[in-house]
Each structure stands twice: as C-alpha cells, then as structure tokens.
C-alpha cells in the first residue's frame, strides 16, 4: 500500500534537514504502529520519499510524503495517530491512498508557490517596479555552486500585496527556482523575510 501524507512544517523544525526529516517520519510511523515497507540489502531503508526538499529555515503548509506499507491499513483516524507521535511543528493535514504504479513522487512536482513576508517595508511603487523589471527581462543570469544558469525561465509569476510577495517557481528535477535567488534579484535580503511554501503543483492528478 502506498499512502500520500500532506503535512506542515513550522517553528524550530524549519531547521530540520532532509535526512533528519526522513528519520523523524520513520520513528513516527513505527510509534503509530504502521507496517512500514523497507528496502532489501545490508542497510534496509524505509520506502519513503518527499516530493521536494525544503530549504532550511523555510516553513511550509504543503509538504508531501509518500510512504509504502507492507499491507493495507485503514486511513480513518490515521492523521490523528501520526500527529500524536510527531514533534510540535510537524502536523499531518491530510492522508490519502496513492497509485502504486505512479512515478516517484519527486518526479511529479513541476511548480512550487512561496509566500514571502517582508520585515522591512519596500514602497509599493518601488516593489512593483522591481517585479515588473524582473518579469520583463529576457534572461536573468545567476550562479549556483559555481555553475551559471538562467533564473528567468524558472520564474512563472510574482505578485505583491502590502508587505507580502507571492511567487510561483519551477520545481522540476534539474530546474528549480529558489525564492532567495528571486529576492536577491528584487534587491531584498532574504534574511529580512519570512518564507513559507504554500503549494506544490504536480503534473499528474493525485489519487
């Protein structure tokens, strides 16, 4: 059985890394007495996969995890069972059964939406000008890990209202837009913001 878990990640657990998050979920599933499926070999690993790694320090209301179980279980009441075993900051909001034949979860993500709260106010007219300039650019050359790339195709939309920016960025394998890079282009230090992932967009319907 393959189940799909949607959960939020808030508070101090925003600084929990990808690998530690996997261990956290393994412990929670075992405490909830779920029949986790494991890989074969000398170092069996639980068959779990996250849709998209969340950068350290970002909060989220839309994280998605696929978990494989050795047998079918009832989903009624399962969110509450897991929430009782999870630490504060991680909360299950939805669980559903996923198609066993569907591709790996991380290959299905195409876009991610982020909401950015500005701690230092930028005049609305100036913020609008910067956003329009970025969206009008044919290319925005950046460098990440010593490699140059064009950020512009990874920006699908940017909107602003009051002290909040909402951006929809590409989140495909090998083509992921990072909100802190967009903020840098807009002349905003991401350390002076609060960034939350609010939506993941998949290229196939979830079962």
pLDDT tens, per residue, the chain with 207 residues: 999 999 999 999 999 988 899 999 999 999 999 999 999 888 899 999 999 989 899 999 999 999 999 999 999 999 999 999 999 999 999 999 999 998 999 999 999 999 999 998 899 999 999 999 999 999 999 988 889 999 999 999 999 988 999 999 999 888 899 999 999 999 999 999 999 999 999 986 544
Q: Distance between CA atoms of 90 and 21, rounded to whole angstroms?
A: 10
Q: Distance between CA atoms of 207 and 205, rounded to whole angstroms?
A: 6
Provide the number of structural domains found in the chain. Answer: 2
Pairing of strands 109-118, 59-68: unpaired
Instruction: Based on the fold, state whether residues 38 and 78 are members of the same structural domain.
Output: yes
- Domain coverage including residue 119: 109-202
pLDDT of residue 205: 54
Last residue of a domain, one of 107, 131, 163: 107
Q: First and final CA of the chain: distance in angstroms?
A: 13
172 in a structural domain: yes
pTM here?
Answer: 0.92
The tokens for 205 are: 């319907």
């Amino acid at each position: 059985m393959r189940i799909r878990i949607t959960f939020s990640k808030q508070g101090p657990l925003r600084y929990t890394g990808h690998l530690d998050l996997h261990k956290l979920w393994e412990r929670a599933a075992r405490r909830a007495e779920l029949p986790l499926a494991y890989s074969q070999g000398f170092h069996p690993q639980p068959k779990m996969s996250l849709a998209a790694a969340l950068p350290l320090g970002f909060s989220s209301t839309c994280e998605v995890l696929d978990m494989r179980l050795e047998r079918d279980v009832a989903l009624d009441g399962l969110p509450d069972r897991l929430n009782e075993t999870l630490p504060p900051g991680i909360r299950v909001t939805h669980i559903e059964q996923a198609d066993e034949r569907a591709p790996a979860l991380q290959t299905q993500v195409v876009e991610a939406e982020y909401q950015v709260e500005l701690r230092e106010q930028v005049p609305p007219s100036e913020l609008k000008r910067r956003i329009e300039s970025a969206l009008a650019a044919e290319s925005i050359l950046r460098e990440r890990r010593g490699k140059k790339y064009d950020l512009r195709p990874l920006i699908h939309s940017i909107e602003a209202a009051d002290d909040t920016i909402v951006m929809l960025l590409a989140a495909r394998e090998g083509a992921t837009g990072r909100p802190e890079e967009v903020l840098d282009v807009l002349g905003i230090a991401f350390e002076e913001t609060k960034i939350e992932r609010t939506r993941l967009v998949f290229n196939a319907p979830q079962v």
